Structure 1
């Protein structure tokens, strides 16, 4: 078969033309919405909104804001107050410090305390279009608005989550992407890769095309490490046999003993490198004291990156549309996940011990739910009947979310007056209900519920 092509085939011409056309229009749109020097900003919040996020009355919020000497923006003839998220957090912490009730202090300022471990939650599924990115970004923003310190990790090379947070994936450099923190050659500390965003208390580790390289690095390093480990094991067995002979001079015995100790240390380090699914978990130790929650968005597959996110997680949130095709896809996902999890646990037990296996919870969130659709309601009932831990609240399909995305915004960043008010209020209500239920998963993990 002749593999040399002197001229483009029709399909290559077609693909190249479409690629150039699409790239051109996307570049034009990017210049409008996100020019190179553009910096995304967060709106201010009315007193009603600010007070609701803290959980107090408007008057109570304004009184404490005045005590702190905050200077909200005054709008209109009535001089309605609008606060920044930094103002909201200042009031939140002020209230927590003043109250004598530990319970109220935690409601005002919910950040983790004492022996509460860093919570890592990953949005996962085989299938694209199940609203993983939308769920991850809205939940991360919800947590930040509630007062938590949040890191949003984008593990999808498509970079949808990064884009929703105002970062153009195509402009993310090698050292700026999540790849830099998990690569095998000269990795950067996660604390240096994490970026501040326009959302106070919400940082991001962005994605981009570079992140896809890890899908090739992980199996390559795993294979080469296994071969190296095999040679070390043979050498270790040889040394142990020599030491067991009992016929060695003291100096030789000590030399061989030191080599045995050195080999065991190296083999342990290589085991950690071989266990690629622990790579993200290890990288996160660098920032575990800086955040309360890490929210991971994964690619629609069970590749190396997705498995690294699962390996690092305490909680898995499987997003699913209430349609039969999605249910069939999810069944395949669960079957594959069972095999992977069994292999991971066995590998960790052999290399490190069972105490290194991270316990996880699994919950299901029904997304893009059309409440008026009889077939979707039927599928939703099936899911709730036969699966454990399906969340009571769904991510309801609403035009408000899509309208917000056309403006490069989330619901939490959008102004109500940009929408039909009833549509917006309904969308925010459903979004908050779902996110509050996901929040409870984390609180239960900390033993608060």
Structure 2
């Protein structure tokens, strides 16, 4: 029997068509000459971020002791994120509140958090981007590293000026074995103050082949240090580095887990997702045992599970949540991230919830529930950072 469908022709045809369609959509959202900007924040939002009263913010503004906000026709005061950071530093210098400026001090290590799981669709990228933006809004210096060749985290930033993954501007250029470039050359600033990214692209898959060839030559495990060595070059510039890992336990993920000081495992409360997570942990344990035997074990400050896409009124999910709490105990974060159309809509617009104005949603209460859920989980993770740094809560 003769088959008439060419696999090569099929893959090439639709790869090209889909890439063109998505590029056109991206250009429509963010034209090459467009400047993407973070939204401005009302004084009530600023007060919440700084954990002071709105009256105190207004008093500082009236006395010209901080940044000058934009005042709208109806008298609302709006602050840019840069002004919020300026105000934070001003209050840290003149106020009495400890840790108003949360950036790490001497003796506190940069926290490198690997966000990982076996199964696609567990909200790894959504977790990473919302945690990263939350920390940046809180005043931390954050770097997000896209470790997935599918580059979802990268695409969320629209058209980054001057970036093209085909021209060696991804993480692979800094971790390859031959002629790696300085890591600082691949760090991309974003429109969010305090939040930078290292992008991904298809060339990241080359790391797997390169490691196999290197192991054939030397037989060692030096590849495990490639990510940590690359990050070491820029670590002093950041308080937190987030690694958005691929949905597989490959060489790159192993190198990420070795570089990490903490691990976050997002898990939807569904049987298939939990079962897949069990297999991920089993396989990871077998790899970690091998690493222990060769003296390259990974040590972390914390490792936590996070329930994502949770629907509280769904009885099977509630049962699965109870099972997970029984099994994982204190290693399961107390707060869950609920399933929300607000999050899905924001990601469709290539934004996190922190970037989108509440008024843009047709059902603002949906936004309120989603942001409350995300804030609670992120605050719990922030507390883990403070605990690792030895700070008083």
For this structure pair, what is the TM-score category when the shorter chain's length is used for normalisation? over 0.9
Q: Determine which of 323, 329, 345 is the counterpart of 2:292.
A: 345
Per the normalisation by structure 2, the TM-score is: 0.93
Do the aligned residues in 2 keep the contact of 1:314 with 1:361 (CA within 8 Å)? yes
Cα distance, 1:68 vs. partner? 3.7
User: What is the CA deviation profile of residues 373-408 of structure 1, one whole-angstrom value per residue up to 9, with x for unaligned ones?
Assistant: 111111011001111310110110011001112222
Whether the 8 Å CA contact 1:174–1:180 is kept in 2: the answer is no
Displacement after TM superposition at 1:16 (Å) = 4.5
Distance, in Å, in 1 between the alignment partners of 2:24 and 2:67 is 41
Q: What is the CA–CA distance in structure 2 between the aligned matches of 1:35 and 1:218, rounded to whole Å?
A: 38
Alignment partner of 1:304 is 2:251: yes
Structure 1 residues 342 and 303, CA, compared in 2 at 3 Å: closer, same or farther?
A: same
Larger Rg: 1
Alpha-carbon contact 2:26-2:158 (below 8 Å) kept:
no
Question: With structure 1 as the length reference, what TM-score do the two structures score?
Answer: 0.82
Matching of residue 387 in structure 1 with residue 328 in structure 2: yes
Cα distance change on mapping 1:285 and 1:401 into 2, 3 Å: same
Is contact 1:117–1:446 with CA below 8 Å preserved after alignment?
yes
CA distance in 2 between counterparts of 1:366 and 1:58 reads 33
CA distance in 1, matches of 2:379, 2:116: 19
- Deviating more after overlay: 116-125 vs 207-216: 207-216
Pairwise mapping of residues 91-102 of structure 1 onto structure 2 (< 5 A)? 91-99=87-95, 101=96
Equivalent residues of 2:66, 2:87 under 8 A apart: no
Alignment-derived partner of residue 237 in structure 1: none
Question: Whole-Å Cα distance in 2 between the matches of residues 201 and 13 of structure 1?
Answer: 45
User: Is residue 290 from structure 1 mapped to residue 233 from structure 2 by the alignment?
Assistant: no
What CA deviation, in whole Å up to 9, does each residue of 1:4-27 have, x standing for no partner? x9x963555554444344233223
SS, match of residue 430 in structure 1: helix
The verdict on how the C-alpha distance between 1:167 and 1:161 changes in structure 2, with shifts beyond 3 A counting, is farther
Q: How does 1:7-22 map to 2 (within 5 A)?
A: 9=5, 12-22=8-18
Which residue of the partner structure matches residue 268 of structure 1?
none
Structure 1 residue 367: Cα displacement = 0.4
Give 2:358's aligned residue: 416
Cα distance, 1:174 vs structure 2: 3.6
Aligned 8 A contact 2:31 2:159 in 1: no
1:365 counterpart residue number: 306
Report how far residue 425 of structure 1 moved: 1.0
Q: Identify the residue that residue 153 of structure 1 maps to in structure 2.
A: 145
Gap regions ≥5 residues in structure 2: none
Find the aligned partners of 1:332 and 1:386 in 2 and give their Cα distance.
15
Gapped regions of structure 1 (runs ≥ 5): 227-270
Looking at structure 2, the residues matched to 295 and 316 of structure 1 have their Cα atoms a distance apart, in angstroms, of: 10
Taking the aligned partners of 2:237 and 2:59, their CA distance within structure 1 comes to 30
**Secondary structure of 1:308's aligned partner:** helix
| CA distance in structure 2 between the aligned counterparts of 1:195 and 1:178, rounded to whole angstroms | 11
